[in-house]
Amino acid sequence: MGLWSRPPLRGCGTGKRTPPFGLRVTADQTRDTRLGGVNLLSRAYYRQKAIKTQYPFQGYHIPMNSPPSRGPEPRSPKHLTVSDGQAGQRLDNWLFRELKSIPKSHIYRLIRTGQVRVGGGRCRPSYRVQRGDEIRIPPQTAPDLRTPRKSAHAPPDFLLQPLYEDADLLIVNKPAGLAVHGGSGISSGLIERLRDSHPEGEFLELAHRLDRGTSGCLILARSRTVLLELHRALRNREITKSYLGLLAGSPAWKTRSVDQAVARADPAPGTEAAKEARSHFRIVRLWPDCALAEIVIETGRTHQIRIHAASLGHPLAGDPRYGDHALNRRLKSVYGVNGLFLHARSVRLSHPRTHEALFIQAPLPAEHETVLARLDAQPDSQGTG
């Protein structure tokens, strides 16, 4: 059906090609339309229709010689070259790092539709990038992307405390409330801030992760070779991670081991519903309302300690997801427990290059020390060693 072959609108005349809304079109403009020039009738129709939508009771006339809005100028695609330290990574993982603010689903769509190209050709997400590969990244415009918001829980400025640093490793004391990486509406996390503070192009990658509310030891690799060696050591359980957590309630036991599979709340399609997980709890101090426990984990599943503590009937103090909400409110008002009380106290590992034995410890945050001091002020507190 042609543009003007619809039934005439009220007040627009009865002619088949009469422009709607009483548009004034000159003979020259009509002749330009017949000669295949810019369709002035169509342009005027839609511009006048927009005005009618905004002001339904008035018929404003828009001069047809006003230039149409063309929007932002198109951007050119980016061409990036894979460096030595990046060689061997999967294409999707490489893109996740380069395009930090873009959702993963959007990145996979760019790969699937061929908008991302390696050496001029299409590649699967599982392709391993090689040194010198030229990767084309399509231009992105603001409407196509989600603008992440700044996390309301992350401290705006923080003093990062390095616990160990050399040419291969960086172990830091992560503050509570700071996500380890951006995503899920968080504009930037610890890894993005560290990369911004280091020379451009320098390799820096997380060897493992900590929850946003957890503080303490976090290991980062400074080369891909070191990263792969750390991942191998984690899989073979050659790295020992110890935590301090405040358990709600007063346990009747002093030591307890939990061997219970842990499942993600939102498992990816095709992945296992639950994975094996083992945690070992030892009570260090005991109070009527809670207990301080040392927790050593053999595996590193998401929320593993929090789920295992809740399964024992003594969830972590301040845990908003698996905890006792009524007790959390009481601990906050009486002892100042403001947020999850879980601290990655120490990590024991062999240096990935020199094989030197390393034992790194992170001091408790000041707010956790304050909570423990208030609990110790009770006359019936017990130290179990």
Give yes or no for a contact between 277 and 262, defined as CB atoms under 8 angstroms apart: yes
Q: Rounded CA gap, 178 and 200, in Å?
A: 23
- Angle subtended at Cα 358 by Cα 164 and Cα 181, rounded to the nearest 5 degrees: 50
Q: Give the gyration radius of the chain's Cα atoms.
A: 30
Q: Rounded CA gap, 173 and 5, in Å?
A: 71
Q: Helices (H) and strands (E) in the chain — how many of each? A: 9, 14
| Annotation marks residue 92 as catalytic | no
Distance set, CA 323 to CA 10, 37, 160, 161, 247 (Å): 65, 69, 29, 29, 9
Considering the candidates 84, 157, 211, 319, report the single residue annotated as catalytic.
211
Q: Rounded CA gap, 213 and 216, in Å?
A: 10
Residue count (the chain): 385
Q: Rounded CA gap, 95 and 224, in Å?
A: 16
Residue with tokens 């929850």: 211
Q: Is 312 helix (H, G, I), strand (E, B) or coil?
A: coil
| Active site (catalytic) residues | 211
